[in-house]
Amino acid sequence: MSGKKAASQKLLLIDGHSMAYRAFYALPVENFKSSSGQPTNAIYGFASMIINLLKEEKPTHIAVAFDVSRKTFRTEKFPEYKAQRASTPDEFRSQLSHINELITGFGIKYFGIEGFEADDIIATLAKAAEKKGFDVAICTGDRDSFQLVNEQTTVLYPKKGVTEMSRMTPDAVFEKYGLTPDQYPDFAALRGDPSDNLPSIPGVGEKTATKWIVDYGNLENLLKSASEIPGKVGESLRNNIEVVKLNRVLTHLLDDVEIPTDIDDLIWSGFDANSVNQLFDTLEIKALKERIKVLPQNGSTQEIVVKKATQIIKSSSDEIEKIIAKSTNPIAVSFEIIDGKLLNYSVAMDEENLYLATDNKIGKWISNPDIKKIVHGAKSAIKYLGLTGLHSDIEILAYLNNPGSRNLDLADLAQRLIGVSIEQDGLFVEFNPATASWIYEINKILFSELQEKKMEKLYQDLEIPTLVALAKLEMIGIGVDKAGLSKLSKNFASIVAEHTEGAYKAAGHEFNVASPKQLQVVLFDELKLPKTKKIKTGFTTDAESLEWLLNKTKHPILQHLMRIRETSKLQSTIDGLLNAIASDGRIHTTFQQTVAATGRLSSTEPNLQNIPVRTDEGREIRNCFIAQAPYEQLLTADYSQIEMRIMAHLSDDKGLIAAFETGEDLHSTVGAQVFGVKADEVDPEMRRTIKAMSYGLAYGLSAFGLAQQLDIDPTEAGELMSKYFERFGGIRDYLKTVVDVARQKGYTETILGRRRYLPDLNHDNRQRREIAERAALNAPIQGSAADIIKIALLKVNQGISDAKLKSRALLQVHDELIFEVMPGERDLLEGIVRDAMSRAFKLRVPLDVNIGFGTSWDAAAH
């Protein structure tokens, strides 16, 4: 019996496991991790949900219910109950203790009772609250809870993720199912539930189940009249009456569970700011610290105030120009640029003033360097709109803070950092002017995080200027000899055809040389060659396996197959280049600044970083990249042994530093010390061994790896490494220290302080731990090389500008810079390039620069 309703008394009940699981699967775990590797997606989603519920529902009392184990009274009655569910993912399990800590910090009590499910606890608390006159809101992803709905109790059922809810009132339940809440468990018993492993009745779907319950009023009456129901469905019902009865027992929620609390004990009096903020700091969830500020703290009388959405003011581009002209602070701009054309844009002057352009014209402010702009993905605005005055790019900010993140899209950052999402209708996403406000807010969050990590100088002095420089390189492009590339493509096609015929002859019949399945049949079943490594689909036929087979058997088919693979790859590269030639006869690649975790650049559309340099055919491709009139030559410049020089600098190994200072061949000098001979007595085989070892150590090469690389016994390889370290103890000590320090800190650093987070350094899985250790060895070296080449590009560009030359930079590929040379500027440009690159960063050893000239990329090689 209900008592008299108390004024504004409302109990919010949350199904903890159900909603935490939904949060876990709604937000990609790879995008929500702390720098220590702790997954945070479920924590973030659960906290966002609580914040939203507190703001929207304004409860006076709250409780969260959890399942304790899978063993309940239901599994005793039906052992298969939920038995099909997969084991709890480790990434989810590791977040549960933090979710409990979060709930406590929010000042909320949580319960879990052995033998019962969270639904039963919720049903019991809801019934007790109703008796006291409370309104009840139940937040759960379990539809069985619809049986609890009445005039006092509403179920908040998630529509999308954990932030958008359907309000399931009696009318809403009837509208969706054509049934009352009391009838819902009868309907569920007939329908079954795959998520709980409850069997359904064959041939009986939701429509039939609904019709029967409506016609007969309830399940009891239906089962009494089962003999009257005609047809196959009637027979199916009669054959499964015991199943239906058991389903009805299992779907019924108990409302009399003994819970050690009273409803009055569940009163909510605000959150504990210290504990919640400390948890968010530990887990690096900074965005939520801003969002909880609207909630009352424990012991305060503050009311929940929901911040009003920023008002969008529609204005013409001319009006926006005048408004921007009055601003003295950086503005945030969101652009919609499709195929190089501006369709829409919006401008946020601050947190509150947001303007949407009613036309797609852009004012002079875009190219005014004094008007500072905050954007996401600035390169397209620089290339197509002439943007200058770039103050911040939040994509670069997010990348520096977490270089291992896979997704830096604005939609992802907005969801992760400020808890908003872009609505998408089917395949199309309509431009949302509020994105400019999001950019403004996200920039503050990310820059604050960057400052804490002491990387603001790296960001402002290197990464942002590099972004601008790369946009210009993309606009300029590089000239190509289209006829030369076409000829190469035909040549490679004929080589592929020739060796395909050779493979057919060696096999005795035609087959698809590109099909691993057919290749396995030919090699292992028909030709009876030794089996390679076992894989799911049989035996591997990758390049390494084919080379192993060739060395072992010398069978002619293997030479043909390897040549086909090698040449097909080159032909594919050339065809990609031909398709990428623009109307100006140049290729305009896209540089990726936020992909490689080490800080290195990559390129796409097309990828110019993977064109072979050490083969004759690769050089033929490079020969098709040319200087175009009025330019007469290309200049190529790269660093000599940059990674080994960085190794010398970081390790401070006196022997390696001395080897560089002699100016002689490094590997011969080092080889002389390791093998105990004079430098001129180091033969090619010794030099090859030392070179493999020196570079391999920077990549975490083991004695076994060195043995494979040099085709020697592992014991011999181990002895060689011991000799190496005897002579170069500083390198040995550095390699050990860098991993230990990274394991302690959770990250490595480059010479400019660029961080790479390696949470797997402390992983229980040995394989993952060893991969992280190799990355810890390599990241400071590769990352520092990336820092230096970026500095070099900027310094050379500045030198060209200061000297007022017309020569220009075209590409940055690995550790190489490529320039187009105007007639009469060769010597001056060479001096600028050599000086700028050699002085890019002061190492303990000199930075040696190699420079070459030629009419093509290959001809300019040095």
Residue 58: count of CB within 10 angstroms of its CB: 15
Q: What angle do CA 839, 843, 845 make, to 5 degrees?
A: 100
Tokens at 338, concatenated:
């499709």
Q: Which residues are CB-contacts of 712 (< 8 A; sequence separation ≥ 6)? A: 706
Q: Are 144 and 242 found together in one domain?
A: no
pLDDT tens readout for residues 213-236:
788 888 778 777 777 777 777 777
pLDDT tens readout for residues 384-399:
999 999 999 999 999 9
CA separation (Å) from 77 to 73, 114, 184, 249?
Answer: 6, 16, 21, 9
Q: What angle do CA 332, 333, 336 make, to 5 degrees?
A: 155
Rounded Cα gap, residues 580 and 559, in angstroms: 32
Q: Are strands 755-757 and 747-749 parallel, antiparallel or unpaired?
A: antiparallel
pLDDT tens readout for residues 520-546:
999 999 999 998 888 888 899 888 889
CATH number where 532 lies? 1.20.1060.10
Residue closest to 423 by CA, chosen among 439, 406, 435: 435
Residue 5 clears pLDDT 60, i.e. is over it: no
Rounded Cα gap, residues 328 and 521, in angstroms: 72
Confidence of residue 83 (pLDDT cuts 50, 70, 90): low
Q: Which pLDDT does position 429 carry in this prediction?
A: 63
DSSP letter for each residue of 106-149: TT-EEE--TBS-HHHHHHHHHHHHHHTT-EEEEE-S-GGGGGG-
- Mean pLDDT calculated for residue range 30-54: 87
Q: Are 49 and 85 found together in one domain?
A: yes
Rounded Cα gap, residues 379 and 274, in angstroms: 41
Q: Which pLDDT does position 21 carry in this prediction?
A: 87
pLDDT tens readout for residues 332-366:
999 999 999 999 999 999 888 899 999 989 999 99
The answer to whether residue 217 is domain-embedded is yes
Tokens at 132, concatenated:
């006291």
Calculate Rg over the CA atoms of the chain.
Answer: 34
Q: Are 127 and 181 found together in one domain?
A: no
Q: Are strands 153-160 and 164-168 parallel, antiparallel or unpaired?
A: antiparallel
Give the residue carrying structure tokens 């096999």: 507
Return the higher-pLDDT residue of 276 and 787. Answer: 787
Range of the domain at 741: 641-778
Q: Are 387 and 238 found together in one domain?
A: no
Q: Are 35 and 106 found together in one domain?
A: yes
- 3-class secondary-structure state, position 752: coil
Q: Are 734 and 768 found together in one domain?
A: yes
- Mean pLDDT calculated for residue range 708-725: 86
> What does DSSP assign to residue 761?
G
Tokens at 673, concatenated:
């010390």
The answer to whether residue 650 is domain-embedded is yes
Q: Which pLDDT does position 223 carry in this prediction?
A: 77
- Provide the percentage of residues in the chain whose pLDDT is more than 90: 54
Q: Are strands 373-375 and 390-393 parallel, antiparallel or unpaired?
A: parallel
- 3-class secondary-structure state, position 375: strand
Whether residue 805 contacts residue 797, with contact meaning beta carbons closer than 8 Å, is answered with no
Q: Which pLDDT does position 846 carry in this prediction?
A: 94
Q: Which pLDDT does position 82 carry in this prediction?
A: 66
Q: What angle do CA 294, 295, 298 make, to 5 degrees?
A: 140
The answer to whether residue 554 is domain-embedded is yes
Whether residue 759 contacts residue 746, with contact meaning beta carbons closer than 8 Å, is answered with yes
Q: Which residues are CB-contacts of 47 (< 8 A; sequence separation ≥ 6)? A: 102, 285, 288
Q: Which pLDDT does position 306 carry in this prediction?
A: 41
Q: Are 16 and 146 found together in one domain?
A: yes
Confidence of residue 308 (pLDDT cuts 50, 70, 90): very low
The answer to whether residue 295 is domain-embedded is no
Q: Which pLDDT does position 85 carry in this prediction?
A: 64
Q: Which pLDDT does position 243 carry in this prediction?
A: 74
Q: Which pLDDT does position 237 carry in this prediction?
A: 75
Q: Are 222 and 279 found together in one domain?
A: no
The answer to whether residue 323 is domain-embedded is yes
Ranges of beta strands (E only) in 222-353 are 312-315, 331-338, 341-348
Q: Are 766 and 647 found together in one domain?
A: yes
Tokens at 312, concatenated:
């969008």
Rounded Cα gap, residues 442 and 428, in angstroms: 24
Q: Are 282 and 323 found together in one domain?
A: no
The one-letter code for the residue type at 280 is F
Residue closest to 128 by CA, chosen among 267, 269, 250, 1: 1
Residue 488 clears pLDDT 70, i.e. is over it: yes
As a whole number of angstroms, the longest Cα–Cα distance in the chain is: 104
125-139, 240-254, 543-557, 634-648, range with the lowest pLDDT: 240-254
Rounded Cα gap, residues 674 and 727, in angstroms: 6
- 3-class secondary-structure state, position 333: strand
Q: What are phi and psi of 3, to 5 degrees?
A: -90, -175
Q: Which pLDDT does position 601 carry in this prediction?
A: 95
- Mean pLDDT calculated for residue range 668-675: 88
The answer to whether residue 474 is domain-embedded is no
- Provide the percentage of residues in the chain whose pLDDT is more than 70: 95
With helix as H, strand as E and coil as C, how does 16-38 read? HHHHHHHHHHHCCHHHCECCCCC
Residue 579 clears pLDDT 90, i.e. is over it: yes
Rounded Cα gap, residues 385 and 379, in angstroms: 10
Rounded Cα gap, residues 367 and 95, in angstroms: 47
Rounded Cα gap, residues 504 and 545, in angstroms: 20
Tokens at 96, concatenated:
């549960």
Give the residue carrying structure tokens 């009986």: 204
Rounded Cα gap, residues 825 and 846, in angstroms: 26
Report the number of distinct structural domains present in the chain.
Answer: 5
**Which H/E stretch holds residue 716?**
helix 714-727
The one-letter code for the residue type at 243 is V
Q: Are 18 and 85 found together in one domain?
A: yes
**Which H/E stretch holds residue 819?**
strand 816-821
Confidence of residue 311 (pLDDT cuts 50, 70, 90): confident
CATH number where 237 lies? 1.10.150.20
Could you say which of 534, 562, 579 is where a domain stops? 579
145-159, 323-337, 664-678, range with the lowest pLDDT: 664-678
Q: Is the pTM of this model over 0.85?
A: no
Residue 449: count of CB within 10 angstroms of its CB: 19
Q: Is the dihedral of CA 323, 324, 328, 334 positive or negative?
A: positive
The answer to whether residue 533 is domain-embedded is yes
The answer to whether residue 584 is domain-embedded is no
Q: Are 13 and 159 found together in one domain?
A: yes
- Mean pLDDT calculated for residue range 743-754: 94
